[in-house]
Structure 1
């Protein structure tokens, strides 16, 4: 297997969509990471040499259709590969383009050349491979030990295929604009993003301005806590664009409102939108008119169908669907802590109040996990006779005691909630005592031969207890949903519910420390699917004795 490769497609454009699925499937057995695709229909031998330079392909509707089909099919047949169609030799108004003057530098130089070129004379195969290597080396930076390999063309007799009616619209050129703008979140760069970005590259003859959503624009996103950091998203987009067409001038800017520079830049000529963001493009034009600027041409790119979707996913390929697929999977490998015994394997389960931890615990119990409720243990830690009891009474006074000498948790809560200093004083007493009791219970579970122990602790991370667990699992839910649950469960006002959440870590803070993330936002059946997935993956990675 090779990490990177380049696929040179020599089939006529009209046949590429027919052949691409089996060709990509074959390529996925050879290349593991990045697969560049170079279109050169009709490339062939002239004596013992390939044509010395790439031939420009006009940017027309047929090319647009091929790009869409190629990326969409790559998702279905080789989703593990990062496919990138190089656009350097696909040009608008190709007659005025200058010949290739230098070798294009790729971010990950290919180690292998793959092609669908059809060999008619087996005696020429070695010559063809050598010529193919020279051809690719003349176009792109490659590994010094570059190799060439043939792939099956995919469909026998496809070369004889001829559609009954040729679509004349396919020959229509794609419009060309000097300055093009588009915006998006671009989280976990996927095939729909690649289509959007690639088409934008073909539309512009000079500059492509890209707004990458950040700040307030992310607040309404599904599973916003799992969105990649802004800088990571920007670098992935930039790396992709420089690979597919380095000749375009790219500007990537932070987008913190729905409009960004699209309503102030006088040089812009076209805005690229999707089916669901067309209204946003129209809103941009209204703002431009208010600013005495020329309206932008609106170029719409169709959505890509998620043909492998489950009942829990959207019909289109989207970043939110990819984030949902991360739920229950291992996001970050657990750190090896030699101070923690391997048995039982300890999961620290945490989440804000109202996140749904209780339901997750119940599912895990059904799957065979031993569970420890750290909140209940914490209450036990300050019962009369325990060390914490006397310390709490000394700190907060006799008025927090009931007639039987136990601490009135309601009275104590009214004192500490809303007062950070008093709350910190309480936790400095209770958390260390709770940790001692929890560790004792974990040891007892190990002595009984329990394989997996789940410590259910809302304050797991705040208290620093993650140093006594092998993995941290975080349960999240949107804040507005958590507020509704808290108000209903505890019969309190929204103001009081917000105070409780304010005293805890946010979802985003918890996720930064998570090995696994679960979300109870949707139907219980989907929550159970996440937990089953997480449990199954856990069994495959935890050590067994």
Structure 2
């Protein structure tokens, strides 16, 4: 049976017990639901009793611990979109298609339990009657009898509450740590949550900033999550162009929710508020969530930067479907800015079996005396670009076109079509050799419009600061000249927008190799349905 598009999981275990059961419950549910998995917590609820009434668990430290356990367990189920609901009473953004409960928590005959689930879902979230209802696991799977005896707990102090609460972050690819942070905000706020979403210059120095989702996408996902988990609050979601935003000017705010890493930022906010004649905000700190699956070059906490790193080498958007392109050889267009490590990636792909076409070498070939572009280039740019031995002085030619868009276009209109013709010859040669995959290594792939010759575009990216260091070391340029060269090229973001796969050589060579091998293995899986090896 294919997975359901969304689901509602009802958990009735006492909150102190829930952290021990979270992993098993979510692992079972993840196999049933492909889209959002909503969780309704109602400790002590007997689903087999008639018409259960929906109720929210008390907002205290035990609930926060349960939320932490649930979102941490969800992180182990890659791609699971978990939303733990903090108050019933509103139709969900993507209504559940199946109702779920743990068999261990739902004693009694299946019929009354399923009916109880249906009544609860209808009363709490307006779900239609007769939704399919499933019991997960069997007797003994995390059953209460298997739990150690619970010591009676001292009554917990309730969480503090505030009329208006603020929080800030990048909120890229909303993950478990974000969801815990936001859920804490929702529990602390009575009236309004102000969420600042980093944008613009605040993103420049983020790891793999080119892969950060657009602000509009991040804000929309944030709003959908918040309005699902606690619909009674007002949500103001605003872009942050600086580290402070409205938190230092809004007189109604009472609390700022921070993590261990952002507490110093919260203290800076309070300093600014005092300078602005406003009272300090209470700082409520949430612990960071550990990532048990973090990789060699990833952070130990669950973080957006780690998630972006895991995208490297994967298919970000579908390959081009062009009937004019033969299916074999399958052509990868590999591009990237100066200093991006594109050439080292091409060599790795060659070692894995790809037929390599170096567009830069072909570019040199079109300029040689007798080459296909030689006469036209000399006629267009003058004899002063010709050396004594008759070869074209590429440095002199570059000086003529650099910074002059009209002259540069005159040159590329001559040269690029000739290089493209030679590339097509090389692709035919790859086919003749029986090569299944051909890699076109071309810095100007997108600028020249050569993506029409390839099935997929793969881009190598590197932060500007690292690219500048590499260019200075390799070419002996000044920092200013290196930056000027970079900024005359297409930006990383522009390339990524047109790419199927992104790779990054920022880290150690073995990490680059692992990325390339992952990309190659996934490519082979995509080629397999085509009948290619």
2:355 is aligned to 370
Give the SS at the match of 2:350. Answer: helix
1:82 is aligned to 81
1:541 and 2:526 matched = yes
1:396 and 2:415 matched = no
1:63 is aligned to 63
1:190 and 2:191 matched = no
TM alignment of 1:238-317, pairs within 5 A: 238-317=223-302
1:50 and 2:51 matched = yes
Question: For residues 417 and 144 of structure 1, what CA distance do their matches in structure 2 show?
Answer: 69
Give the SS at the match of 1:3. Answer: coil
TM alignment of 1:341-490, pairs within 5 A: 341-490=326-475
Give the SS at the match of 2:164. Answer: strand
1:32 is aligned to 34
Question: For residues 117 and 398 of structure 1, what CA distance do their matches in structure 2 show?
Answer: 86
**Conserved 8 A contact 1:111-1:143:** no
Give the SS at the match of 1:130. Answer: helix
Question: For residues 537 and 259 of structure 1, what CA distance do their matches in structure 2 show?
Answer: 42
Query: What is the RMSD of the two structures over their aligned residues, measured on CA atoms?
Result: 1.7
Which residue among 519, 522, 531 is the counterpart of 2:504?
519
| Change in CA separation of 1:423 and 1:116 when aligned onto 2, cut-off 3 Å | same
Question: For residues 366 and 3 of structure 1, what CA distance do their matches in structure 2 show?
Answer: 41
Question: For residues 50 and 104 of structure 2, what CA distance do their matches in structure 1 show?
Answer: 15
Which residue among 91, 100, 109 is the counterpart of 1:105?
91
Question: For residues 106 and 394 of structure 2, what CA distance do their matches in structure 1 show?
Answer: 85
**Conserved 8 A contact 2:199-2:241:** yes
Give the SS at the match of 1:196. Answer: helix
Measured against aligned partners, the alpha-carbon deviations of 1:124-165 in whole angstroms (never above 9, x if no partner) come to 32122113211211111325550112223732454763345x
Question: For residues 374 and 428 of structure 1, what CA distance do their matches in structure 2 show?
Answer: 16
Question: For residues 104 and 27 of structure 2, what CA distance do their matches in structure 1 show?
Answer: 17
2:157 is aligned to 172
Q: Which residues of structure 1 form unaligned runs of 5+?
A: 90-102
| Change in CA separation of 1:28 and 1:400 when aligned onto 2, cut-off 3 Å | same
Give the SS at the match of 2:182. Answer: helix
Measured against aligned partners, the alpha-carbon deviations of 1:163-205 in whole angstroms (never above 9, x if no partner) come to 45x553x711000000000100000000000000000000000
Question: For residues 15 and 406 of structure 1, what CA distance do their matches in structure 2 show?
Answer: 79
Question: For residues 288 and 304 of structure 2, what CA distance do their matches in structure 1 show?
Answer: 13
Give the SS at the match of 1:104. Answer: coil
Residue 57 of structure 1, CA deviation? 2.5
**Conserved 8 A contact 2:10-2:100:** yes
| Change in CA separation of 1:438 and 1:120 when aligned onto 2, cut-off 3 Å | closer
Give the SS at the match of 1:458. Answer: coil
> In terms of mean alpha carbon deviation, does 147-156 or 421-430 score higher?
147-156
1:199 is aligned to 184
**Conserved 8 A contact 1:372-1:438:** yes
**Conserved 8 A contact 2:171-2:197:** yes
Which residue among 19, 31, 45 is the counterpart of 1:17?
19
TM-score relative to the length of structure 2 = 0.95
Question: For residues 403 and 118 of structure 1, what CA distance do their matches in structure 2 show?
Answer: 88
Q: Which residues of structure 2 form unaligned runs of 5+?
A: none
> In terms of mean alpha carbon deviation, does 447-456 or 213-222 score higher?
447-456
Question: For residues 120 and 185 of structure 1, what CA distance do their matches in structure 2 show?
Answer: 40
| Change in CA separation of 1:117 and 1:172 when aligned onto 2, cut-off 3 Å | farther
> In terms of mean alpha carbon deviation, does 30-39 or 316-325 score higher?
30-39
Give the SS at the match of 1:113. Answer: strand
Which residue among 208, 233, 246 is the counterpart of 2:218?
233
| Change in CA separation of 1:140 and 1:120 when aligned onto 2, cut-off 3 Å | closer
Measured against aligned partners, the alpha-carbon deviations of 1:440-475 in whole angstroms (never above 9, x if no partner) come to 111111122111111110000000000001110000
Question: For residues 356 and 82 of structure 2, what CA distance do their matches in structure 1 show?
Answer: 44
**Conserved 8 A contact 1:11-1:116:** no
Give the SS at the match of 2:279. Answer: coil
Question: For residues 41 and 105 of structure 1, what CA distance do their matches in structure 2 show?
Answer: 22
**Conserved 8 A contact 1:6-1:114:** yes
**Conserved 8 A contact 2:335-2:460:** yes
Measured against aligned partners, the alpha-carbon deviations of 1:92-123 in whole angstroms (never above 9, x if no partner) come to xxxxxxxxxxx41101111111112548875x
| Change in CA separation of 1:435 and 1:45 when aligned onto 2, cut-off 3 Å | closer
Question: For residues 440 and 47 of structure 2, what CA distance do their matches in structure 1 show?
Answer: 67
1:161 is aligned to 148
Question: For residues 493 and 420 of structure 1, what CA distance do their matches in structure 2 show?
Answer: 24
Residue 411 of structure 1, CA deviation? 1.5
Which residue among 213, 219, 223 is the counterpart of 2:208?
223
Measured against aligned partners, the alpha-carbon deviations of 1:332-361 in whole angstroms (never above 9, x if no partner) come to 110111111111111100001111111111
Question: For residues 416 and 119 of structure 1, what CA distance do their matches in structure 2 show?
Answer: 74
Question: For residues 119 and 190 of structure 1, what CA distance do their matches in structure 2 show?
Answer: 27
**Conserved 8 A contact 1:111-1:145:** no
Give the SS at the match of 1:336. Answer: coil
1:502 and 2:487 matched = yes
Aligned length: 526
1:92 is aligned to none
> In terms of mean alpha carbon deviation, does 140-149 or 246-255 score higher?
140-149
**Conserved 8 A contact 1:111-1:147:** yes
Question: For residues 339 and 119 of structure 1, what CA distance do their matches in structure 2 show?
Answer: 58
**Conserved 8 A contact 1:306-1:317:** yes
**Conserved 8 A contact 1:179-1:204:** yes
1:96 is aligned to none
